[in-house]
Structure 1
C-alpha cells in the first residue's frame, strides 16, 4: 500500500551557554526582545518546569527552552523557505548579542508517513522493504523491526536521515501507524569574536534553503516517491 505524508515539521535548535534557567523565560520576554510578533497569542497555558519551558502559539509554532538549548518548531505545509515562519524567529533570536556565544545549530526536519489502513504491521513492512532480503530478516517469532540510519555527505554539512516506526495521533484522537523520517543537519560554530560569530551564524543559515530541498528530494522523491 502506497504511503502518504501526513505531517511535516521543522525544528531548529540553538545550543548556547545563555539559558541556565528555562523557567525564567516568559511571553513578555519573547515579545520585548523582538523574537516573536507582539500580536501572537498562546493556544494554551505555557508548560513550565525547572528544566523545561514550552510556549505553543495559535499559529502552531512552538518555542521550547531547555538548559542551554532553545528550539523553534513549526508544522510545515510547504518546503518553500519563504513560507517557513520559524526561520525569521531564529534570525530574531541569534541577532541579539545577549545570546553570544552559540555553539551549534541543529536543523531537524521530520515527515510522518501514514498508511490508509489500520494494519499496524504496514510501517514495519515498509521499512523492511528498504533492506535487501536475507536470513537476518527471518529470525524471531514475529516480523523483524528495524530502525535505519542513512548518512549523506552533502556540502557544506552532512545529512543524517533516521527512519523508524511511529504512531501519529490526529486531532480527533485517532492513532494511526506511520513511519517517521527524521533528517538532521548539525552546523558547528567556532568560538570567536562577536562580529566573527555572527558572520558564522549568517553563513550557516545561508545553507538552509538548500538543506530543506536536499531533504525533500531524498525523502519525498526517492524514498516515498511523492508525485
Structure 2
C-alpha cells in the first residue's frame, strides 16, 4: 500500500492529584503568560466546580479536572515547529508547580484514507490485521491486542487503537478511513517534587519522539509493508461505523 498517515490532532494529558479545576480561566492563562494576550476565544468558557474548559479560536483547547489537565490542538496543516501545546503545557506546570503531578500521556489521532470500492477499510482490519505481520513486532516486549495493540517502548507504554470509520469532508461527502489513535503513557516515579517537575517538563518537550514513533509504527509496520490487503472483487461498500 502507498497510503500514509494523516495526523489532525495532538492531545497532552497530565495526571494530577487534587488539582483545582476552577483556576482555569482565560484571565489566568493570559496573566500567567501561558497563552498570548491576543488569543481570541472560540466559544464561551466553561467553569464549574468539577471541570473547566477554555477553547481558543486557533483550535487550541485546555480542559481541567480534579485529576487531570488536557491540552488539545488541531495540527493537520502545521509543521512540528508550529505546534504550540507542548510549550503551553510546560508553562502551565511551571506556573502551578505545587500540584502533585502523577504522569503524562501524549496522544495522537490519525487516519488513513481508503477506496470506497471493495470495502478496503474493512478488509484492512479483518483480512490483514488479524493475520500475522510486522505490526506484531515493535518495541521491547511481545504485543498484546484486542484491536488495541499495546507496545512497550523505551520510557513509555504505547496503546494503538484501530477502528473503521468515515470522515465527513467539507463538501458533505464521507470518505472511508481507518483510525489510528495512539496514547503514549509516561509514568513519573521520582519522589522529590522538583525532580518530578523536571521529568514532566522533559517528557512534554520531547513530544516529537512520540509522534515519530507513532508515524514509524503506522507507516512502516501497518501500511507500507510486504503484507497486502486481501480484497474481495466487486464487494459492495458497507456503511461506515463512525463519522468525525
Instruction: Please give the TM-score of this superposition, normalised by the length of structure 2.
Output: 0.73
1:1-227 superposed matches below 5 A? 5=5, 7-20=7-20, 22=21, 25-77=24-76, 81-117=80-116, 121-128=119-126, 129-132=128-131, 148-171=147-170, 174-190=173-189, 192-225=191-224
| Displacement of 1:15 | 0.9
Alpha-carbon distance in 2 for matches of 1:196, 1:224:
40
Shift in alpha-carbon separation, 1:98–1:37, aligned structure 2, 3 A: same
Residues 6 and 76, structure 2, Cα contact 8 Å, conserved in 1: no
Alpha-carbon distance in 2 for matches of 1:200, 1:6:
30
In the other structure, the counterpart of 2:229 is none
Residues 24 and 53, structure 2, Cα contact 8 Å, conserved in 1: no
Alpha-carbon distance in 1 for matches of 2:100, 2:28:
19
CA-to-aligned-CA distance 1:134-155 (integer Å, 9 cap, x gap)? xxxxxxxxxxxx9622222221
Alpha-carbon distance in 1 for matches of 2:118, 2:48:
35
In the other structure, the counterpart of 2:241 is none
What RMSD in Å do the two structures reach over aligned CA positions? 3.0
Shift in alpha-carbon separation, 1:57–1:218, aligned structure 2, 3 A: same
CA-to-aligned-CA distance 1:166-188 (integer Å, 9 cap, x gap)? 34344555544322101111111
| Displacement of 1:98 | 4.2
Alpha-carbon distance in 2 for matches of 1:89, 1:120:
44
| Displacement of 1:48 | 4.6
Shift in alpha-carbon separation, 1:122–1:52, aligned structure 2, 3 A: farther
| Displacement of 1:23 | 5.1
- Count of residues paired in the alignment: 212
Residues 156 and 187, structure 2, Cα contact 8 Å, conserved in 1: no
Shift in alpha-carbon separation, 1:162–1:57, aligned structure 2, 3 A: same
Alpha-carbon distance in 2 for matches of 1:127, 1:32:
48
